[in-house]
Structure 1
Amino acid sequence: MKGILFFIVALFLGACGYIPTSKIANNIFDDKVYVNVELSLQDPRNSIFVADTLKEMVISKLGRKLALKHEADDVINVRMNNLEFTPLIYDKNGYVISYKAKLNLEFKVVFKDGTTEHFSTSGSYNFDISPNSIISDAARYEAIRAASSEAFDEFISVIAIKGHKRATQY
């Protein structure tokens, strides 16, 4: 029974032309990628959190190797446009107990052939804190990490669609 169900699901996904975005991204980026995250002068500490997360995402989600700029085939330049923490929920005493971290990133990709693409993405993450407390470094880091990951996923989806269109044109 499990075999029949697996066959039906595989047939359905194969028939509708489903291709994972990571597979499409393989056709877009070459093996070596340089990731440059512009550090924000207003918020350098959070910029470093974003940089670490994005570099990790290039390795884990794209399966690419990080390289020095002069060795890289493709260059991904990232700028953190905005990071804000917005209170979502207050307790009965008026203390904030839930926040939303919203991160806006701007990507400029320079491909091996010299063409460039610009993308703006955003990511968000909701998290709780104890009443009458400040946002801890661990909660802040986790929120930035999750929002960065969501923004990077959006970037990959958009670039995969553009890359798929580009690949089918040639």
Structure 2
Amino acid sequence: MRLAIFLVWVVLLSGCGYAPASYYAKNVLGDSVSTEVVISMEDPQNTVIIKDAVDMAVITKFKTALVSKKLSKTHLKISIASVLFTPLRYDTNGYVITYRTTVVMRIDRIVGEKTSPYSTHGIYDFSIEPNAIISDQARFEAIRQGAQKGIDSFIAQVAAQGANSK
């Protein structure tokens, strides 16, 4: 019975022309992409974290090759607009126990001489012990997760653009 339901589901999805977001995003970006993250002088450590998150997203989510700028069809230039840590929850003594990290990025998609700007942000919530400070490890992980979610938002924007151009 489960196999029959699964087969019906597969036939319906393939019959309606369903394609994943990465398919449409790859149509916009092409087969080869290069990335560049503009280093923030205020917080260069965050730049490295975001560069790694961007590169991982290009490889895993766009399903495309990461190449040098000279060999790429599309170049993504990412700059960090801001990284914010906002208290979300407090314990009964008034100590912060949950923070929200918001990573705001500007991404320029450059193809030849044409530049298309995108603005994106990613949000990540995390907990800490009461009356504790945010450790470097927790901070880096929060920024990495926020950047990853910002890249997911960028993928959705590019996929929508790719779907509308068909």
Normalising by structure 1, what TM-score? Answer: 0.90
**Is 1:29–2:29 an aligned residue pair?**
yes
User: Cα deviation per residue 1:28-55 (whole Å; 9 max; x = unaligned)?
Assistant: 2222211011111111111211111111
Asked if 1:68 corresponds to 2:68, the answer is yes
Q: CA RMSD in A?
A: 1.5
Specify whether residues 163 and 114 from structure 1 end up closer, same or farther in structure 2 by C-alpha distance, changes over 3 A only: farther
CA distance in 1, matches of 2:13, 2:135: 44
Aligned length: 166
Q: CA deviation at 1:116?
A: 2.1
| Alignment correspondent of 2:99 | 99
Aligned to 1:126: 125
The more displaced of 63-72 and 73-82 is: 63-72
Alpha-carbon shift at residue 65 of structure 1 (Å): 2.1
Separation in 1, partners of 2:88, 2:97: 8
Distance 1:20 1:30 in 2: 15
The corresponding residue for 2:139 is 140
Deviation at 1:150, TM superposition (A): 0.9
Alignment of 1:1-170 (within 5 A): 1-111=1-111, 113-166=112-165, 168=166
Measure the CA separation in 2 of the matches of 1:22 and 1:47. 25
Contact 2:50 2:144 in 1 (8 A): yes
Structure 2 residue runs of 5 or longer lacking an equivalent are: none
Q: Percent sequence identity over matched residues?
A: 36
Q: How far does residue 15 in structure 1 lie from its aligned partner after superposition?
A: 4.1
Q: Deviations over 1:115-167 (max 9, x none)?
A: 3211111110000001111111221122111111111111111111112222x
What letter corresponds to residue 124 of structure 2 in structure 1? Answer: Y
Cα distance in 2 between the residues matched to 1:106 and 1:73: 20
* Matched residue type, 2:158: I
Q: Which amino acid aligns with 2:123?
A: S
| Paired letter, 2:143 | I
1:89 maps to a residue whose letter is R
Q: What stretches of structure 1 of length at least 5 have no aligned partner?
A: none
Q: In structure 2, the residue corresponding to 1:131 is in which secondary structure?
A: coil
Partner secondary structure for residue 70 of structure 2: coil
TM-score of the superposed pair, with normalisation by structure 2: 0.92
